[in-house]
Amino acid sequence: MKKKIVFSGIQPSGNLTIGNYIGVIKQWVKMQEIYNCIFCIVDLHSLTQCNNKLKLDKTILDTLALYLACGINPNKSIIFVQSHVSEHTKLSWILSCYTYYGELNRMTQFKNNKIKNKNINSGILFYPILMSSDILLYNTNYVPIGEDQKQHIELCRNIANRFNKIFGNIFNIPKPCILKNGSRILSLQEPYKKMSKSDNNSNNVIYLLDNKIDIFKKIKFAKTDSEKNPKIKYDIIKKPGLSNLLNIFSGITGKTIKQLEKEFYGKLYIDLKYKIIKILSIFLERIQKNYYNIRKNEDFLKNIIFEGSKKANKIAKKTISKINSKLKLY
Ligand code: TYM
Protein backbone atom coordinates (compact mmCIF):
# COMPACT_ATOMS: atom_id res chain seq x y z
CA MET A 1 0.00 0.00 0.00
CA LYS A 2 1.21 3.53 -0.81
CA LYS A 3 2.48 5.41 2.22
CA LYS A 4 0.39 8.38 3.34
CA ILE A 5 1.92 11.83 3.03
CA VAL A 6 2.62 14.14 5.97
CA PHE A 7 3.37 17.84 5.55
CA SER A 8 4.19 20.36 8.25
CA GLY A 9 6.29 23.46 8.79
CA ILE A 10 7.68 26.00 11.21
CA GLN A 11 8.61 29.64 10.68
CA PRO A 12 12.34 30.30 10.99
CA SER A 13 11.67 33.29 13.22
CA GLY A 14 14.11 33.03 16.09
CA ASN A 15 14.65 30.24 18.51
CA LEU A 16 12.23 27.26 18.67
CA THR A 17 10.45 26.56 21.95
CA ILE A 18 9.41 23.46 23.89
CA GLY A 19 5.90 24.37 22.65
CA ASN A 20 7.08 23.73 19.08
CA TYR A 21 8.82 20.55 20.21
CA ILE A 22 6.00 19.04 22.25
CA GLY A 23 3.22 20.26 19.94
CA VAL A 24 4.70 19.17 16.62
CA ILE A 25 8.38 18.16 16.28
CA LYS A 26 7.90 15.19 18.59
CA GLN A 27 5.04 14.00 16.36
CA TRP A 28 7.20 14.49 13.25
CA VAL A 29 9.95 12.28 14.64
CA LYS A 30 7.47 9.43 15.13
CA MET A 31 5.63 10.00 11.86
CA GLN A 32 8.77 9.82 9.72
CA GLU A 33 9.02 6.12 10.66
CA ILE A 34 5.57 5.40 9.18
CA TYR A 35 4.78 7.96 6.48
CA ASN A 36 6.37 9.92 3.64
CA CYS A 37 7.13 13.12 5.50
CA ILE A 38 7.82 16.58 4.13
CA PHE A 39 9.00 19.20 6.60
CA CYS A 40 9.23 22.77 5.45
CA ILE A 41 10.97 25.84 6.82
CA VAL A 42 8.35 28.43 5.97
CA ASP A 43 10.46 31.53 5.41
CA LEU A 44 7.82 33.34 3.31
CA HIS A 45 5.40 33.23 6.23
CA SER A 46 8.02 35.01 8.36
CA LEU A 47 7.97 37.99 5.98
CA THR A 48 4.54 38.93 7.38
CA GLN A 49 6.44 40.28 10.39
CA CYS A 50 7.72 43.09 8.12
CA ASN A 51 10.88 43.14 10.16
CA ASN A 52 13.97 44.38 8.37
CA LYS A 53 16.12 42.84 11.09
CA LEU A 54 15.11 39.29 10.05
CA LYS A 55 18.27 37.36 9.21
CA LEU A 56 16.60 34.57 7.29
CA ASP A 57 19.78 33.00 5.89
CA LYS A 58 21.00 32.42 9.45
CA THR A 59 17.68 31.51 11.06
CA ILE A 60 16.89 29.00 8.30
CA LEU A 61 20.10 27.10 9.09
CA ASP A 62 19.46 27.43 12.85
CA THR A 63 15.98 25.97 12.37
CA LEU A 64 17.23 23.15 10.17
CA ALA A 65 19.95 22.26 12.71
CA LEU A 66 17.28 22.17 15.42
CA TYR A 67 15.05 19.89 13.33
CA LEU A 68 17.98 17.49 12.98
CA ALA A 69 19.04 17.81 16.62
CA CYS A 70 15.51 16.82 17.67
CA GLY A 71 15.65 13.68 15.53
CA ILE A 72 14.36 14.58 12.07
CA ASN A 73 16.28 12.41 9.65
CA PRO A 74 17.00 13.87 6.18
CA ASN A 75 17.43 10.35 4.80
CA LYS A 76 13.85 9.55 5.75
CA SER A 77 12.11 12.91 5.32
CA ILE A 78 12.20 15.70 2.76
CA ILE A 79 13.34 18.92 4.42
CA PHE A 80 13.23 22.09 2.35
CA VAL A 81 12.78 25.86 2.38
CA GLN A 82 9.44 27.25 1.21
CA SER A 83 10.86 30.09 -0.91
CA HIS A 84 13.00 27.60 -2.86
CA VAL A 85 9.88 26.18 -4.50
CA SER A 86 8.15 28.96 -6.42
CA GLU A 87 4.99 26.88 -6.90
CA HIS A 88 3.94 27.81 -3.34
CA THR A 89 3.39 31.45 -4.30
CA LYS A 90 1.83 30.53 -7.62
CA LEU A 91 -0.73 28.20 -6.04
CA SER A 92 -1.31 30.75 -3.31
CA TRP A 93 -2.50 33.31 -5.86
CA ILE A 94 -4.70 30.77 -7.62
CA LEU A 95 -6.30 29.63 -4.36
CA SER A 96 -6.85 33.22 -3.22
CA CYS A 97 -9.21 33.56 -6.19
CA TYR A 98 -11.26 30.70 -4.74
CA THR A 99 -11.27 31.97 -1.14
CA TYR A 100 -13.75 34.52 0.19
CA TYR A 101 -12.52 37.64 1.93
CA GLY A 102 -15.02 36.92 4.73
CA GLU A 103 -13.38 33.53 5.40
CA LEU A 104 -9.97 35.15 5.88
CA ASN A 105 -11.43 37.93 7.97
CA ARG A 106 -12.89 35.36 10.38
CA MET A 107 -9.54 33.71 11.21
CA THR A 108 -8.84 34.12 14.92
CA GLN A 109 -5.12 34.69 14.39
CA PHE A 110 -5.88 37.50 11.95
CA LYS A 111 -8.46 39.05 14.27
CA ASN A 112 -6.02 38.97 17.20
CA ASN A 113 -3.36 40.58 15.05
CA LYS A 114 -5.78 43.29 13.96
CA ILE A 115 -6.48 44.23 17.58
CA LYS A 116 -2.76 44.50 18.42
CA ASN A 117 -1.65 46.09 15.17
CA LYS A 118 -3.39 49.03 13.56
CA ASN A 119 -1.19 49.06 10.49
CA ILE A 120 -1.50 45.40 9.61
CA ASN A 121 -0.08 44.11 6.29
CA SER A 122 -2.21 42.10 3.89
CA GLY A 123 0.25 39.17 4.08
CA ILE A 124 -1.23 38.44 7.51
CA LEU A 125 -4.69 38.24 5.96
CA PHE A 126 -3.44 35.99 3.14
CA TYR A 127 -1.27 33.88 5.45
CA PRO A 128 -3.70 30.90 5.65
CA ILE A 129 -3.91 30.74 1.85
CA LEU A 130 -0.14 30.39 1.56
CA MET A 131 -0.35 27.75 4.27
CA SER A 132 -3.06 25.91 2.29
CA SER A 133 -0.85 26.00 -0.79
CA ASP A 134 2.04 24.49 1.18
CA ILE A 135 -0.16 21.59 2.18
CA LEU A 136 -2.13 21.01 -1.02
CA LEU A 137 0.88 21.08 -3.37
CA TYR A 138 2.16 17.80 -1.92
CA ASN A 139 -1.04 15.67 -1.95
CA THR A 140 -0.88 15.75 1.83
CA ASN A 141 -2.96 13.37 3.93
CA TYR A 142 -1.92 14.44 7.45
CA VAL A 143 -0.82 17.77 8.90
CA PRO A 144 0.66 17.65 12.43
CA ILE A 145 0.06 21.03 14.06
CA GLY A 146 -0.54 22.74 17.38
CA GLU A 147 -4.02 23.82 18.45
CA ASP A 148 -3.53 27.41 17.20
CA GLN A 149 -3.33 26.25 13.56
CA LYS A 150 -6.53 24.16 13.62
CA GLN A 151 -8.71 26.87 12.09
CA HIS A 152 -6.23 27.33 9.24
CA ILE A 153 -6.45 23.64 8.37
CA GLU A 154 -10.25 23.80 8.40
CA LEU A 155 -10.02 26.67 5.91
CA CYS A 156 -7.54 24.68 3.81
CA ARG A 157 -9.98 21.75 3.69
CA ASN A 158 -12.81 24.07 2.63
CA ILE A 159 -10.73 25.63 -0.13
CA ALA A 160 -9.61 22.19 -1.35
CA ASN A 161 -13.17 20.85 -1.38
CA ARG A 162 -14.42 23.92 -3.22
CA PHE A 163 -11.67 23.64 -5.83
CA ASN A 164 -12.26 19.89 -6.28
CA LYS A 165 -15.99 20.48 -6.80
CA ILE A 166 -15.25 22.80 -9.70
CA PHE A 167 -12.27 21.07 -11.29
CA GLY A 168 -12.53 17.40 -10.29
CA ASN A 169 -10.41 15.62 -7.72
CA ILE A 170 -7.20 17.62 -7.78
CA PHE A 171 -6.38 17.80 -4.09
CA ASN A 172 -6.34 15.29 -1.25
CA ILE A 173 -8.33 16.63 1.66
CA PRO A 174 -5.77 16.84 4.50
CA LYS A 175 -6.51 15.90 8.09
CA PRO A 176 -4.99 17.80 11.03
CA CYS A 177 -3.11 15.77 13.66
CA ILE A 178 -3.43 17.56 16.99
CA LEU A 179 -2.29 16.02 20.28
CA LYS A 180 -4.82 15.66 23.09
CA ASN A 181 -2.35 17.03 25.63
CA GLY A 182 0.51 19.28 24.56
CA SER A 183 -1.09 20.87 21.52
CA ARG A 184 -1.16 24.17 23.38
CA ILE A 185 1.76 24.66 25.74
CA LEU A 186 1.07 27.86 27.65
CA SER A 187 3.14 30.86 28.63
CA LEU A 188 4.88 30.29 31.99
CA GLN A 189 4.00 33.67 33.52
CA GLU A 190 0.68 34.25 31.75
CA PRO A 191 -0.83 30.78 31.44
CA TYR A 192 -3.93 31.95 29.56
CA LYS A 193 -1.98 32.51 26.35
CA LYS A 194 0.15 30.25 24.14
CA MET A 195 3.89 29.93 24.71
CA SER A 196 5.25 31.78 21.70
CA LYS A 197 8.75 32.16 20.30
CA SER A 198 8.03 35.83 19.56
CA ASP A 199 6.96 36.68 23.14
CA ASN A 200 8.60 39.90 24.36
CA ASN A 201 9.03 38.44 27.83
CA SER A 202 11.54 35.57 27.62
CA ASN A 203 10.47 34.37 31.10
CA ASN A 204 7.28 33.14 29.45
CA VAL A 205 9.14 30.76 27.20
CA ILE A 206 11.49 27.80 27.42
CA TYR A 207 13.62 27.88 24.28
CA LEU A 208 15.25 24.68 23.06
CA LEU A 209 18.60 26.45 23.47
CA ASP A 210 18.03 27.75 27.01
CA ASN A 211 20.82 27.02 29.47
CA LYS A 212 20.35 25.29 32.83
CA ILE A 213 20.23 28.52 34.84
CA ASP A 214 17.47 29.95 32.65
CA ILE A 215 15.49 26.70 32.82
CA PHE A 216 15.81 26.76 36.61
CA LYS A 217 14.65 30.37 36.95
CA LYS A 218 11.84 30.14 34.44
CA ILE A 219 10.30 26.93 35.83
CA LYS A 220 10.85 27.83 39.50
CA PHE A 221 8.99 31.12 39.06
CA ALA A 222 6.36 29.80 36.64
CA LYS A 223 2.94 30.97 37.72
CA THR A 224 0.73 28.44 39.49
CA ASP A 225 -2.50 28.94 41.40
CA SER A 226 -2.61 29.87 45.08
CA GLU A 227 -4.94 27.24 46.54
CA LYS A 228 -4.98 26.82 50.31
CA ASN A 229 -4.24 23.11 50.14
CA PRO A 230 -2.71 22.81 46.72
CA LYS A 231 -3.07 19.42 45.04
CA ILE A 232 -1.21 18.28 41.97
CA LYS A 233 -4.27 17.65 39.84
CA TYR A 234 -4.78 18.45 36.15
CA ASP A 235 -7.46 21.12 35.63
CA ILE A 236 -6.74 23.39 32.70
CA ILE A 237 -9.59 25.80 33.57
CA LYS A 238 -9.03 26.23 37.32
CA LYS A 239 -5.28 25.48 37.43
CA PRO A 240 -3.89 26.46 34.01
CA GLY A 241 -0.32 27.10 35.26
CA LEU A 242 -0.04 23.78 37.07
CA SER A 243 -1.75 21.88 34.23
CA ASN A 244 0.67 23.47 31.79
CA LEU A 245 3.60 22.18 33.85
CA LEU A 246 2.04 18.71 33.81
CA ASN A 247 1.65 18.93 30.02
CA ILE A 248 5.32 19.91 29.69
CA PHE A 249 6.37 17.03 31.96
CA SER A 250 4.19 14.58 30.03
CA GLY A 251 5.37 15.91 26.65
CA ILE A 252 9.03 15.43 27.54
CA THR A 253 8.84 12.09 29.35
CA GLY A 254 5.90 10.39 27.60
CA LYS A 255 4.25 9.72 30.98
CA THR A 256 0.48 10.21 31.00
CA ILE A 257 -1.15 12.93 33.09
CA LYS A 258 -2.82 10.21 35.20
CA GLN A 259 0.59 8.63 35.92
CA LEU A 260 1.98 12.04 36.91
CA GLU A 261 -0.94 12.81 39.23
CA LYS A 262 -0.29 9.48 40.92
CA GLU A 263 3.48 10.02 41.10
CA PHE A 264 3.03 13.48 42.69
CA TYR A 265 0.06 12.63 44.92
CA GLY A 266 0.48 14.45 48.26
CA LYS A 267 3.59 16.30 47.05
CA LEU A 268 4.13 20.06 46.78
CA TYR A 269 4.13 22.19 43.64
CA ILE A 270 7.81 22.92 44.25
CA ASP A 271 8.56 19.16 44.18
CA LEU A 272 6.96 18.99 40.74
CA LYS A 273 8.86 22.09 39.60
CA TYR A 274 12.24 20.73 40.71
CA LYS A 275 11.57 17.47 38.92
CA ILE A 276 10.63 19.32 35.72
CA ILE A 277 13.79 21.43 35.97
CA LYS A 278 15.81 18.22 36.18
CA ILE A 279 14.16 16.39 33.28
CA LEU A 280 14.12 19.49 31.06
CA SER A 281 17.78 20.22 31.74
CA ILE A 282 18.83 16.68 30.82
CA PHE A 283 16.57 16.61 27.78
CA LEU A 284 17.62 20.00 26.39
CA GLU A 285 21.30 19.36 27.10
CA ARG A 286 21.13 16.38 24.73
CA ILE A 287 19.41 18.39 22.00
CA GLN A 288 21.87 21.27 22.43
CA LYS A 289 24.88 18.97 22.18
CA ASN A 290 23.52 17.63 18.87
CA TYR A 291 22.60 21.12 17.73
CA TYR A 292 25.99 22.75 18.28
CA ASN A 293 27.72 19.84 16.55
CA ILE A 294 25.45 19.99 13.51
CA ARG A 295 25.27 23.79 13.27
CA LYS A 296 29.04 24.05 12.75
CA ASN A 297 28.79 22.22 9.44
CA GLU A 298 27.10 24.73 7.13
CA ASP A 299 27.94 22.84 3.93
CA PHE A 300 26.21 19.75 5.29
CA LEU A 301 23.13 21.80 6.20
CA LYS A 302 23.02 23.62 2.86
CA ASN A 303 23.28 20.32 1.03
CA ILE A 304 20.25 18.94 2.91
CA ILE A 305 18.23 21.98 1.88
CA PHE A 306 19.45 21.74 -1.71
CA GLU A 307 18.54 18.06 -2.02
CA GLY A 308 15.23 18.56 -0.19
CA SER A 309 14.25 21.47 -2.42
CA LYS A 310 15.00 19.40 -5.54
CA LYS A 311 12.64 16.66 -4.37
CA ALA A 312 9.95 19.12 -3.25
CA ASN A 313 10.18 20.99 -6.57
CA LYS A 314 9.52 17.80 -8.49
CA ILE A 315 6.31 17.02 -6.59
CA ALA A 316 5.09 20.63 -6.58
CA LYS A 317 5.63 21.00 -10.34
CA LYS A 318 3.45 17.96 -11.02
CA THR A 319 0.57 19.41 -8.99
CA ILE A 320 0.87 22.82 -10.62
CA SER A 321 0.93 21.30 -14.07
CA LYS A 322 -2.35 19.46 -13.30
CA ILE A 323 -3.87 22.74 -12.13
CA ASN A 324 -2.53 24.68 -15.13
CA SER A 325 -4.24 22.30 -17.48
CA LYS A 326 -7.55 22.52 -15.58
CA LEU A 327 -7.40 26.32 -15.59
CA LYS A 328 -6.14 26.41 -19.19
CA LEU A 329 -3.05 28.32 -18.07
CA TYR A 330 -0.59 27.10 -20.66
P1 TYM B 1 4.67 28.40 13.89
O2 TYM B 1 6.01 28.58 13.30
O3 TYM B 1 4.06 29.50 14.66
O4 TYM B 1 4.67 27.11 14.81
C5 TYM B 1 5.06 25.86 14.30
C6 TYM B 1 4.20 24.76 14.87
O7 TYM B 1 4.35 24.71 16.27
C8 TYM B 1 3.06 24.73 16.90
N9 TYM B 1 3.18 25.47 18.15
C10 TYM B 1 2.80 25.00 19.34
N11 TYM B 1 2.26 23.83 19.70
C12 TYM B 1 1.97 23.67 21.02
N13 TYM B 1 2.19 24.64 21.95
C14 TYM B 1 2.73 25.82 21.62
N15 TYM B 1 2.94 26.74 22.54
C16 TYM B 1 3.07 26.04 20.26
N17 TYM B 1 3.62 27.07 19.60
C18 TYM B 1 3.68 26.71 18.31
C19 TYM B 1 2.17 25.49 15.90
O20 TYM B 1 0.82 25.18 16.09
C21 TYM B 1 2.70 24.98 14.58
O22 TYM B 1 2.08 23.76 14.22
N23 TYM B 1 1.58 28.74 10.04
C24 TYM B 1 2.45 27.87 10.74
C25 TYM B 1 3.54 27.26 9.88
C26 TYM B 1 3.07 26.65 8.61
C27 TYM B 1 2.53 25.35 8.47
C28 TYM B 1 2.27 25.20 7.06
C29 TYM B 1 2.21 24.34 9.36
C30 TYM B 1 3.15 27.22 7.37
N31 TYM B 1 2.68 26.34 6.44
C32 TYM B 1 1.72 24.03 6.57
C33 TYM B 1 1.65 23.17 8.85
C34 TYM B 1 1.41 23.03 7.47
C35 TYM B 1 3.13 28.65 11.85
O36 TYM B 1 3.27 29.83 11.81
O37 TYM B 1 3.63 27.87 12.78
Rounded Cα gap, residues 6 and 30, in angstroms: 11
The residue extents of the domains of the chain are 5-178+298-327, 202-292
Write the residue with the smallest CA distance to atom 7 of ligand 1. 20
Which one, of 69, 11, 3, lies nearest residue 39 by Cα?
11
Q: How many whole angstroms from 3 Cα to the centroid of ligand 1?
A: 24
| pLDDT (0 to 100) of residue 69 | 98
Write the residue with the smallest CA distance to atom 18 of ligand 1. 20
| pLDDT (0 to 100) of residue 119 | 84
Listed as ranges, residues in the chain with pLDDT below 50 are: none
In the chain, at which residue ranges do the beta strands (DSSP E only) sit? 5-10, 36-41, 78-81, 142-144, 175-177
Rounded Cα gap, residues 304 and 72, in angstroms: 12
Residues with CB under 6 A from ligand 1: 7-11, 19-20, 23-24, 42, 45, 131, 134-135, 143, 145-146, 148-149, 183-185, 194-195
Q: Are 30 and 71 in contact (CB under 8 A)?
A: no
| pLDDT (0 to 100) of residue 58 | 93
| pLDDT (0 to 100) of residue 313 | 98
Considering only the top CATH level, what class is 202-292?
mainly alpha
Rounded Cα gap, residues 129 and 152, in angstroms: 8
Q: Could you identify the atom of ligand 1 that is nearest to the CA of residue 148?
A: 20
DSSP helix/strand/coil, 51: coil
Whether the model pTM is above 0.85: yes
* Best mutation site among 5, 6, 10, 178 for ligand 1 pocket (most ligand atoms within 8 Å of CB): 10
**Which residues 6+ apart lie within 8 Å of 45 measured at CB?**
9, 11, 82, 127, 130, 131
Quick one: 295 exposed, middle or buried, by C-beta within 10 A (0-12, 13-18, 19+)? Answer: middle
Rounded Cα gap, residues 157 and 150, in angstroms: 11
Rounded Cα gap, residues 3 and 175, in angstroms: 15
Rounded Cα gap, residues 232 and 243, in angstroms: 9
Q: Could you identify the atom of ligand 1 that is nearest to the CA of residue 22?
A: 12
CATH of domain 5-178+298-327: 3.40.50.620
| pLDDT (0 to 100) of residue 14 | 64
- Fold match between domain 5-178+298-327 and domain 202-292: no
Q: How many whole angstroms from 196 Cα to the centroid of ligand 1?
A: 10
Q: Could you identify the atom of ligand 1 that is nearest to the CA of residue 140?
A: 34
Q: How far apart are the first and last CA of the chain?
A: 34
Rounded Cα gap, residues 147 and 183, in angstroms: 5
Q: How many whole angstroms from 108 Cα to the centroid of ligand 1?
A: 14
Q: How many whole angstroms from 231 Cα to the centroid of ligand 1?
A: 32
* Best mutation site among 6, 145, 151, 247 for ligand 1 pocket (most ligand atoms within 8 Å of CB): 145
Rounded Cα gap, residues 189 and 205, in angstroms: 9
Q: Could you identify the atom of ligand 1 that is nearest to the CA of residue 149?
A: 20
* Best mutation site among 16, 63, 132, 149 for ligand 1 pocket (most ligand atoms within 8 Å of CB): 149
* Best mutation site among 5, 6, 20, 236 for ligand 1 pocket (most ligand atoms within 8 Å of CB): 20
Q: Could you identify the atom of ligand 1 that is nearest to the CA of residue 146?
A: 20
| Per-residue model confidence as pLDDT tens digits over 249-268 | 999 999 999 999 999 999 99
